[in-house]
Chains A and B, each alone.
Chain A
Amino acid sequence: MPIGEWFNKQKKLAPGNPNLEKRAVPDGVWEKCKGCNEPIYTKELEKNHKVCPKCDYHFPFSAQERVNHLTDPGTFDELWADLSSEDPLHFIANKTYVDSLDIARDKTGLNDAVICGTGQVNGRRVAVGAMDFGFIGGSMGSVVGEKITRLIELATDDRLPLIITSSSGGARMQEGMVSLMQMAKTSAAAARFNKSGMPYISILAHPTTGGVTASFPSLADIIIAEPNALIGFAGQRVIEQTIKQKLPKNFQTAEFNLTHGMIDMIVSRLEMKHTITRLLDYLEPRGVAQ
């Protein structure tokens, strides 16, 4: 049995178990911070939600880590974990799409690039989604589009606040136009959710770029970015080739987006849950029985 299949089987035995992927880190293991180049003990880093205690550099967070971090312990129920992508185009480049999917499944333990479900944030029930950049660059194909749409529909029907953390390189080109249309599909769901009167908070994590940015992540009531996150539509290499100039140093950073009015605030991961709780206090619809 290929290792990918084995891994999927193991995972399916305990769907949605948030602790499954947590491996014990032995003492004394350390890694170098990309922000300040200082060594940090991995244990210390994990305790600090993968934020460097010295320089506030935000290390990559998996979708599972995000969900665990945002929701109260034991309250997250994952939905639609068994959705997996077909290969409508029989896409082959330097490797087949089927192989890319298998490799990504092995690497992340996920079936695709997003985790969705319901959970509680300081006792308040919410619909929550988190994208995983480790799964083919967090790209949006049929499964991401479908799960995000279902999540938004669930939040609309059950009148739940919606919280989605994005981290994506864009559309999944191996699914061709089917992937591009997921931008329209998720945006259409967001349009319906907007009429429900319930709040939508979008968190943009490093990186949120390409077509995905031009859909549901940009259609929220409140948009929050993590510090230093790269956020934008066009890729920097493409822009450089087009305008034949060097890009400004802070181009497309969270700070750049804040200055240009594209996001409401930049919030450290360490403050994220607290900030969301405070926001939800303001965004509670009036006169609606929960």
Chain B
Amino acid sequence: MRRFAYDFEKPLVELETKLDELKQLESAEKQDIAFQIKYLEEQIQKLRLRTYSKLTPWQKVQLARHPDRPRTNDYIEAIFTDFIELHGDRIYRDDPAIIGGFARLGDTRAMVIGHQKGRNTKENVLRNFGMPHPEGYRKARRLMKLASKFQLPLITFVDTPGAYPGIEAEERGQAVAIAENLLELSALAVPVIVAVIGEGGSGGALAIGFGDRMIMLENAYYSVITPEGCASILWDGEGGADRAAEALWLTADKLFKLGIIDTIVKEPLGGAHHAPALVARDLKRELEKSLKELGRTDPAELVEKRYLRLRDIGFYSQESGVAKTLNLNALTGE
């Protein structure tokens, strides 16, 4: 079976394919082949390091979109027990691009909501490639309210290219659906923990994508606009997405610098799909840690702190009076 590979991964995959072929050879001169296999394995190891240890922002965006990357349902299965999925917005339909329901993290009962992408073409058609319609956001909001009513901490998984851009989505109020989620999330009286696991595509991600703790996988991205979209507006010609990805500061390390995320969960070389169980284990640890810290906080204080955190995001100067001027030099000292 041919593996999916981006351009920057192709030399590596070629070597790996060669190695597989060699291993399948039932040759008489086994010693000769053993030597070759060993040599190839060393080469692959070196190339893997070279390919993946210094990924550009655009390459990370590509890994975040990798078809084999673990999805929300994979993490729910790996991290939680006793997941009971809940469906529907009670208005129009059940949107498969967002899933949610009750789940247990150790002894803690929680509400889980996440964008859901598919694993193959058929699934992706059903899941609309993880791009929700308004009813998806309204389902999410219903579950947020449920979490609040029954005092269940909310854990969200962000993985969407964006809210679906379509005629019906506009007719049913994509803008107001997202806005109402922002309003709901900002005042929800339970701990809200966000895990950005893949694509954080703009407002469609934000609608379930901010809270008291912001965790992000190393190769995930979170951006105001897709690099392609940004490039088509601000750059001309080829290679725009590459440059836009760099300029937008959409990677975990940059967002950590900006104070937008709190924690980065490391991924194995080549991305989360190379060792999904390891990534799930580390993400689980971070979720448990956050739950423990936030669980001690009084709900009113949680909401207040969340407000102040949002209140603090912005970089501006004011000549007169008591304005907040952030120390930008500290931020960009690289």
**Which A residues are closer than 8 A to B by beta carbons?**
12, 80, 82-94, 142-143, 145-146, 149, 171-173, 175-185, 187-188, 190-192, 194, 210-211, 213-219, 231-235, 238-239, 242-243, 245, 247-248, 251-252, 256, 260-262
Contacts and interface: CB of A to CB of B under 8 A. Distances in A.
30 contacts: A82-B318, A83-B317, A87-B315, A88-B258, A88-B332, A89-B249, A94-B235, A145-B313, A145-B314, A171-B203, A173-B234, A176-B248, A177-B222, A182-B313, A183-B179, A188-B182, A188-B186, A188-B306, A188-B311, A190-B183, A192-B187, A214-B177, A217-B179, A232-B175, A233-B170, A234-B166, A239-B166, A242-B165, A248-B167, A256-B171
B174 A94 contact: no
A142 B222 contact: no
Interface in B258-300: 258, 260
Interface of B: 163-167, 169-180, 182-187, 202-203, 206-207, 210, 222-225, 229-230, 233-236, 243-244, 247-250, 255, 258, 260, 306-307, 310-311, 313-320, 323, 326, 328, 331-332
B182 A213 contact: no
B167 A214 contact: no
Given A90-B332, A178-B313, A260-B173, A233 B210 contact: no
A168 to B, nearest CB: 12
Contacts of B260: 177-178, 181
Most buried by A among B180, B184, B235, B306: B180
A86 B326 contact: yes
A175 B225 CA distance: 11
B179 A142 contact: no
A43 to B, nearest CB: 37
Q: Which of A90, A188, A192, A216 has the most CB of B within 10 A?
A: A188
A233 B163 contact: yes
A149 to B, nearest CB: 7
Nearest to A243: B166
A216 B167 CA distance: 22
Contacts, number: 208
B234 A93 contact: yes
Given A173-B233, A218-B179, A188 B166 contact: no
B222 A149 contact: no
A185 B306 CA distance: 10
B158 to A, nearest CB: 12
B167 A247 contact: yes
B183 A214 contact: no
B175 A85 contact: no
A192 to B, nearest CB: 7
A208 to B, nearest CB: 9
Contacts of B316: 83-86, 142-143, 146
Contacts of A93: 230, 234-235, 243-244, 247
A251 B170 CA distance: 9
Contacts of A149: 311
A164 to B, nearest CB: 13
Contacts of B182: 183-184, 187-188, 214-215
The 8 closest A-B pairs by CB, nearest first: A234-B165, A188-B186, A93-B234, A187-B182, A142-B314, A214-B178, A86-B315, A213-B175
B173 A262 contact: yes
